[in-house]
Structure 1
Amino acid sequence: MNITPITEQEITQLRAETIGTTQKIHFNNAGASFNPDVVVDTVINYLREEATLGGYEIEDKYRDELNNTYRLIAKLINADDDEIAIVENASTAWGIAFNGIDFKPGDEIITCEMEYVTNIIGFINVQKTLGVSLKIIPNDVQGNFPLDVFEQAISPKTKLIAMTQIPSTAGGMIPVVEIGKIARRHRVLYLVDACQSAGQIPLDVKEIGCDMLSVTGRKYLRAPRGTGFLFIRKGIQDSLKLLFMDGYSAPTVSLHDFKPRGDARRFELYEKNRALTLGLGKAVDYALNIGVDRIWKRIQYLATLLRRELAAIEGITVHDFGAQQCGIVTFSAKGLENALVKNKLADKNINVSVGKAISTLIYMDKNHLLNNVRASVHYYNTEAEIQVLCTELKSMLVS
């Protein structure tokens, strides 16, 4: 498919619509991206109206816009809007899905080495409390996920396949579409953590073939912190346990029984931040208007450039593996603590983060990494900003 690149004129305009780009060079998009100004204005304006006219009254006024957030999310991932629940973050979304599964002693979970710490804690919990076993499929020596080894690991006891598509502290990717084809062939539940994926790469839950998918808003979607969503395929919603309920999630109630809603909003509670919900919707709309396929093309270009420039610096080691890599670029500088590198760059108004071993525990332990420097690019970053980063790193290494 021929994808039209984001032009330099568009980049200039997108940066003009993002006040943060005038203050900092921001390479911490895998932590939290700069919000577009329109997202910030949407949240603030709603809160101002709420403060002067009343919370319930303003909710009624914006009911159509609030409901439209579900439709926008559904469009983003090619789902139906009754398959979307809006929650506070990806960990909440993942936990609702995972803990809703009716695990039994002897059940098996299959995962990858890129799993996030929250998910690993969930696996350990059901191991300890329910006698569920865990199979971890490591990447091969080139850093690629071995689909043949994975399929051979599936057994009649396999209850869940859980995969994180893009890890927190590495630049590689897990082939979730190919895994989904295998999961469907074996009729095994499939949960995808797309925390770092949404807004960075095109997502199509029908193509992926997943039953559940968890997302945060603050990262590549450029939404406010405290936003996220959960996709749960319509056909499995009734099979998942509800972890909490109120009159919104279960609106049909008698003194002797109750009935959950007939859509994915059964996994929500009534009370949530409506201003942030609108902000999430505006951020999704912003990404859709640009085109996520175009965003992904731009991110791949910038990440490839950054890796190439870093690899050319004597004393810098790039730690990313695998045939397909994302906008997260991880590296270390010889003789310098990674936290020191982060702090020195911060002094120069350059934001990066330190990727901790706990965040992607299996991968980091396998590769003997205690931590690394994580520089994550987004479409609004520029080639010039990459050159500034590399110049500052060179200066550190010779000082």
Structure 2
Amino acid sequence: MWTQQDTDAAARDLPALRPSDLLHFNSAGCSLPSRRTLSAVQEYYTSEASSGGYETADAQQDALLLPYTALATLLNCRCDEIALVSSATAAWQQVVYGLAWTWKPGDRVLISAAEYGSNCIALLQLARRTGITLEAIPDSPDGDIDVEQLEGMLDTGRLPVLVCLSHVPTSSGRVYDAAAVGAVCRRRGVLYMLDACQSVGQLPVDVQQIGCDFCSGTGRKYLRGPRGSGFLFCRSDALDKFEPACLDNIGASWTGRSQYTLAPGAQRFESYELSFAAKVGLGVAVSQCCELGIAVIWSRIKQLADLLRAGLRELPRVLVCDVGRNLCGLVSFNVESLEAGEVQRLLAEQHINTSVSRTGSSRIDFENRGLSAVVRASVHIYISESQVQQLVAAVAALPLGKGS
């Protein structure tokens, strides 16, 4: 069971660089790193400056291998099924643009109703190029993915070439039933791409149990790693179904004047140039996550998020916008008579960090629910119950908007 001593220890592990009164409720955007992660990044950069970049890489091979082993442990997969890239979007695009080489007019791609904007923009571009059609899987009445509707869509017309799911959407705190989608896709032999950008690091993401073929994620959110770090899981039996969108001397070898050979395993998705300091920092961050235990982290995050939702729901001017049978550490809400961006600004003036998600980030979901924007307050283990209460009190004290 999580104790006050655990909260104090997590808070002490934050770098002492921020204002002491800062309340950071933005882990779903970009979380705060631990001291160990920050030190690892700083020390690597210092070594590059003093010894040289190539020389530092040669000397720190163990640190550069750590993110592969740590992510393999966290995701329950093999090290050679992990690729390190610059972002979750880069990982996602390496797969989807690579698959698109084989797509033909009339092929179908299924997406969740709350699919992320960047993913949808890429798929719309590919629809123009290839003639594919995009279809949104409806939500169930309780806000989860409608598995029965998904099965019906797979039984109707041409079998989809890909199913995409944003595990935790940007627009609310729901957690889609990724494993139920995986079970359907595996039975029907349909490739399945899971965007775990906002789930990995706060809740268990077991790629074996979920059954996804691909899983993309970022370092900067709940994993508390550096910006500019991301990863891709590619199931070994999906590797040879396509080529990555882009290749260089890391992803392939030039084996003849007119010939190249793909790198073995998921390394073929990587590019030579990447922040090696960020790579080292990601390894430390994921290792700390594994050391504490994702089940422990998830239990604490749910506890804090439940407390925050309950507090916000008691406020007469506040609408909590989260939907779904399973909710996570991202809490979305709006305040009557105040635009979401104004709420964010007013809270920032009190040293409270939140973020805003707008229609373009998840257009289908926002339009289905009649929303244009939501404020997002996301908790992590270094947040205390008293800080949750401070946020609720600050929201309660927000002024009325103009014309109210």
Question: TM-score w.r.t. structure 1 length?
Answer: 0.96
In structure 2, give the amino acid aligned to 1:385. Answer: Q
Q: Any idea what the Cα deviations from partners look like across 1:77-120, whole Å, max 9, x if unmatched?
A: 00101011100111111111111112222211111111000111
CA distance in 2, matches of 1:209, 1:67: 25
CA contact (8 A) 2:247 2:271 kept: yes
In structure 1, give the amino acid aligned to 2:33. Answer: N
Of 254, 257, 260, which aligns to 1:255? Answer: 257
CA contact (8 A) 1:106 1:157 kept: no
Cα distance change, pair 337–256 in 1 and its aligned pair in 2 (3 A): closer
Q: Any idea what the Cα deviations from partners look like across 1:105-145, whole Å, max 9, x if unmatched?
A: 22111111110001111221222111111221121333222
User: What residue in structure 1 maps to residue 52 of structure 2?
Assistant: 54
Unaligned runs of 5+ in 2: none
Question: SS of the counterpart of 1:100?
Answer: helix
Question: SS of the counterpart of 1:336?
Answer: coil
User: What residue in structure 2 maps to residue 338 of structure 1?
Assistant: 340
User: What residue in structure 2 maps to residue 95 of structure 1?
Assistant: 93
Question: SS of the counterpart of 1:230?
Answer: strand
User: What residue in structure 2 maps to residue 107 of structure 1?
Assistant: 107
Q: Any idea what the Cα deviations from partners look like across 1:20-42, whole Å, max 9, x if unmatched?
A: 48341010111000010111110
Q: Any idea what the Cα deviations from partners look like across 1:322-381, whole Å, max 9, x if unmatched?
A: 111111111111111221111111111111111111111111111111101111111111
CA distance in 1, matches of 2:371, 2:246: 38
Of 226, 230, 233, which aligns to 2:232? Answer: 230
TM alignment of 1:141-180, pairs within 5 A: 141-155=141-155, 156-180=158-182
CA drift at 1:11: 1.3
CA drift at 1:252: 5.0
Question: SS of the counterpart of 1:22?
Answer: coil
CA contact (8 A) 1:310 1:390 kept: yes
CA distance in 1, matches of 2:274, 2:136: 36
Instruction: Tell me which moved more, 102-111 or 26-35.
Output: 102-111
CA contact (8 A) 2:338 2:400 kept: no
CA drift at 1:302: 0.7
User: What residue in structure 2 maps to residue 134 of structure 1?
Assistant: 134
Q: Percent identity?
A: 35
2:85 is aligned with 1:83: no
CA distance in 2, matches of 1:244, 1:390: 47
CA distance in 2, matches of 1:120, 1:194: 15
TM alignment of 1:303-314, pairs within 5 A: 303-314=305-316
2:291 is aligned with 1:289: yes
In structure 2, give the amino acid aligned to 1:16. Answer: R
CA distance in 2, matches of 1:195, 1:317: 25
CA distance in 2, matches of 1:368, 1:174: 20
CA drift at 1:246: 2.1
CA drift at 1:273: 1.1
User: What residue in structure 1 maps to residue 6 of structure 2?
Assistant: 10
Question: SS of the counterpart of 2:141?
Answer: coil
CA distance in 2, matches of 1:177, 1:318: 27
In structure 2, give the amino acid aligned to 1:127. Answer: A
CA distance in 2, matches of 1:387, 1:208: 35
TM alignment of 1:208-219, pairs within 5 A: 208-219=210-221
CA contact (8 A) 2:95 2:245 kept: no
Cα distance change, pair 364–300 in 1 and its aligned pair in 2 (3 A): same
Instruction: Tell me which moved more, 40-49 or 156-165.
Output: 156-165
CA contact (8 A) 2:107 2:133 kept: yes
User: What residue in structure 1 maps to residue 318 of structure 2?
Assistant: 316
In structure 1, give the amino acid aligned to 2:298. Answer: W
Unaligned runs of 5+ in 1: none
CA distance in 2, matches of 1:124, 1:221: 30
CA distance in 1, matches of 2:379, 2:171: 14
Of 16, 41, 50, which aligns to 1:43? Answer: 41
Cα distance change, pair 391–351 in 1 and its aligned pair in 2 (3 A): same
CA contact (8 A) 2:301 2:329 kept: yes
CA distance in 1, matches of 2:20, 2:221: 19
In structure 2, give the amino acid aligned to 1:276. Answer: A
In structure 1, give the amino acid aligned to 2:307. Answer: L
Cα distance change, pair 295–372 in 1 and its aligned pair in 2 (3 A): same
User: What residue in structure 1 maps to residue 278 of structure 2?
Assistant: 276
User: What residue in structure 2 maps to residue 199 of structure 1?
Assistant: 201
2:378 is aligned with 1:380: no
Question: TM-score w.r.t. structure 2 length?
Answer: 0.95
CA drift at 1:243: 2.2
CA drift at 1:225: 0.5
CA drift at 1:396: 1.4
CA contact (8 A) 1:195 1:215 kept: yes
CA contact (8 A) 1:15 1:21 kept: no
CA drift at 1:271: 1.9
Q: Any idea what the Cα deviations from partners look like across 1:30-80, whole Å, max 9, x if unmatched?
A: 100001011111001011111011111110000122112211111110010
Q: Any idea what the Cα deviations from partners look like across 1:250-287, whole Å, max 9, x if unmatched?
A: 13522231111111111111221111100000000011
CA distance in 2, matches of 1:125, 1:394: 43
Question: SS of the counterpart of 1:332?
Answer: strand
2:344 is aligned with 1:361: no
Q: Any idea what the Cα deviations from partners look like across 1:162-211, whole Å, max 9, x if unmatched?
A: 11110012111210001101110111000000000110111111111110
Aligned-residue RMSD, C-alpha: 1.4
In structure 1, give the amino acid aligned to 2:10. Answer: L
Cα distance change, pair 139–213 in 1 and its aligned pair in 2 (3 A): same
2:68 is aligned with 1:70: yes
CA contact (8 A) 2:66 2:284 kept: no
